[in-house]
Structures are given as structure tokens and as C-alpha cells.
């Protein structure tokens, strides 16, 4: 097995994407050939992954970005979630290693153009190399995608990392013409179902920021816990049950 090669760095201070009135700093770890045990240890301490790049907030004056994970064993979908599953019962869900095709890139562009129009995101056509480096590179044995398919149409893609003791939701995008389906919610429910079937105890949903309305949806998935502070690798992480 090729050994892990780890390099570390810290980014420049910039405007925070979640709380625009604050400044943000990010710590990075660049890991070639990351192993599942190393990745799991990092998830437990609040790190996220895009490609070979792992990152965690390092803001000196703010600790609002807190990792949130759902406790799979106790999760039960509420009425709204059950309606979502019923609404999408005609979809085929395919799980496979993360990949990149022209269909992926076209769908990604349509999704981002819609978000730029509705939510003011910066609109830019995806660079295939950037997509590959973010979602395909560094996948090792854990980087997967869930494809949501209707007939011969690709309606959505969810990038998800599947580890023996953890499942991490990386990114999700979908056809804006199918927004009524609620494919974001559907995707989280598929992650939880996969974790349950495989005996995986936790699904990590990324950062939860109390003051950001766009993050509110994550706390709907119960029971969940949030990570206290930013523990180092020689500290035991403390996960606190959500409200």
C-alpha cells in the first residue's frame, strides 16, 4: 500500500461565506493516498474533504462552524420526509465510485446557474479539471456518488464518502427543473438508509452554523450531535447531543 503523504497549510483571512459580517480562516491538509482510518479520525475532529484536500475552520475569533452528525440507529423520518420518499419513489438510486462525464458537468452547470439566479451565487461554467480535483481525485476506496435516475435521465448527483464507521455527505446537485422533488432532502435520506443497511453508526452532514438560515435543515435530522471546539489529534473529540 502506498503510504500517506501529508502536507499542511493555512489559508488567508477572507470574508466568511456563512456569516458575511465576519472573517474566516481555513486550515488545510493535503493527503495523497489517505487511508480510511485516517479519514475517519479527521471526520471525528471536524475535517471535511474535497479531492485530496482536507479542511477545517481555523478562525481565531469565531467558532460558529460546528460539525454535525446524525446518529443512524435512532433516526426515523418525520412526516415531511416520508412524503419526500413517496414523491421520489419512481427514481432509481445507483451507488458507484465517483466519476465525471459530460452529463455530470452539464447538470452541475444547470444547477449552479439556477442557484445564481435564485440565491445570488457566483455563476461560472464548471472547469472539468476543477470538478475532477474536487470530486473524483483522492477517492481511494471510499469516494462514491449516488445517482438519481429517471428512465434515461440523470436528475441528481450526490457525492458521498463511505467508510466502515462513518458516512460523509460531500456535495449534492440536481436538475433545477425537478426542484419540487426535494432532491436535497431525498439525498440525505438515501445516505441514512445506506448507513443503516451497512451498520454505519454516523452520517456526517458537514458544518452547521446557528446564524445561517441555509444550514437550518441539517438539525431536522434527529438524533444528531455537534462537535465541541476543534480537538487536535491527541485529544478525544467531544460530541454534544443536539437540541
Q: What is the mean pLDDT of each run of 10 residues along the chain (243 residues)?
A: 77 93 95 94 97 96 96 98 98 98 97 85 84 96 98 98 98 97 98 98 96 92 97 96 83
CB contact set of 56 (below 8 Å; sequence gap of 6+): 26, 27, 45, 46, 47, 48, 230
CB contact set of 136 (below 8 Å; sequence gap of 6+): 51, 98, 99, 100, 143
Rounded-to-integer distance, Cα 32 and Cα 36, Å: 12
pLDDT attached to residue 117:
80
Element (H, E) at 43: helix 36-43
Angle between helices 79-87 and 183-198 (to 10 degrees): 100
Nearest to 49 by CA among 172, 126, 158, 137: 137
Range of the domain at 107: 72-198
User: How buried is residue 57: exposed, middle or buried, by Cβ count under 10 Å (0-12/13-18/19+)?
Assistant: buried
Contact between residue 183 and residue 148 where contact means Cβ atoms under 8 Å apart: yes
Backbone Cα Rg of the chain: 18
pLDDT attached to residue 3:
61
**21 falls within a domain:** no
Count up the domains in the chain and report the number.
Answer: 1
Q: Look up the CATH number of the domain holding residue 172.
A: 3.40.630.30
Nearest to 68 by CA among 213, 217, 225, 187: 225
pTM of the full structure: 0.95
**177 falls within a domain:** yes
**158 falls within a domain:** yes
**181 falls within a domain:** yes
Rounded-to-integer distance, Cα 161 and Cα 145, Å: 8
Q: How many CA atoms lie within 13 A of 174 on its CB side?
A: 22
**127 falls within a domain:** yes
Phi and psi, residue 203, nearest 5°: -115, 120
Strands 166-174 and 202-208: parallel
pLDDT attached to residue 5:
72
**152 falls within a domain:** yes
Q: Which residues pair with 14 in a beta bridge?
A: 24
Element (H, E) at 206: strand 202-208
pLDDT attached to residue 6:
83
177: Cα separation from own chain's centroid = 22
pLDDT attached to residue 4:
76
**76 falls within a domain:** yes
**189 falls within a domain:** yes
Amino acid at each position: 500500500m502506498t503510504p500517506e503523504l501529508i502536507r499542511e497549510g493555512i489559508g488567508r483571512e477572507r470574508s466568511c461565506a456563512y456569516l458575511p459580517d465576519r472573517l474566516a480562516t481555513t486550515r488545510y491538509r493535503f493527503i495523497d493516498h489517505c487511508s480510511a482510518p485516517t479519514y475517519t479520525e479527521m471526520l471525528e475532529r471536524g475535517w471535511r474533504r474535497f479531492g485530496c484536500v482536507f479542511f477545517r475552520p481555523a478562525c481565531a475569533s469565531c467558532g460558529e462552524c460546528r460539525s454535525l452528525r446524525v446518529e443512524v440507529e435512532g433516526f426515523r423520518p418525520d412526516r415531511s420526509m416520508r412524503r419526500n420518499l413517496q414523491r421520489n419513489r419512481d427514481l432509481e438510486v445507483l451507488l458507484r465510485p465517483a466519476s465525471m462525464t459530460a452529463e455530470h458537468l452539464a447538470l452541475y452547470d444547470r444547477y449552479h446557474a439556477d442557484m445564481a439566479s435564485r440565491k445570488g451565487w457566483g455563476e461560472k461554467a464548471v472547469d472539468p479539471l476543477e470538478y475532477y480535483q474536487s470530486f473524483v481525485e483522492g477517492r481511494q476506496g471510499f469516494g462514491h456518488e449516488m445517482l438519481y435516475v429517471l428512465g434515461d435521465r440523470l436528475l441528481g448527483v450526490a457525492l458521498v464518502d463511505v467508510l466502515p464507521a462513518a458516512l460523509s455527505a460531500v456535495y449534492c446537485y440536481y436538475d433545477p427543473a425537478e426542484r419540487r422533488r426535494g432532491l436535497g432532502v431525498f439525498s440525505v435520506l438515501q445516505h441514512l438508509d445506506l448507513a443503516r443497511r451497512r451498520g454505519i453508526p454516523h452520517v456526517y452532514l458537514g458544518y452547521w452554523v446557528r446564524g445561517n438560515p441555509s444550514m437550518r435543515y441539517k438539525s431536522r435530522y434527529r438524533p444528531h450531535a455537534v462537535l465541541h471546539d476543534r480537538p487536535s489529534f491527541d485529544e478525544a473529540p467531544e460530541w454534544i447531543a443536539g437540541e
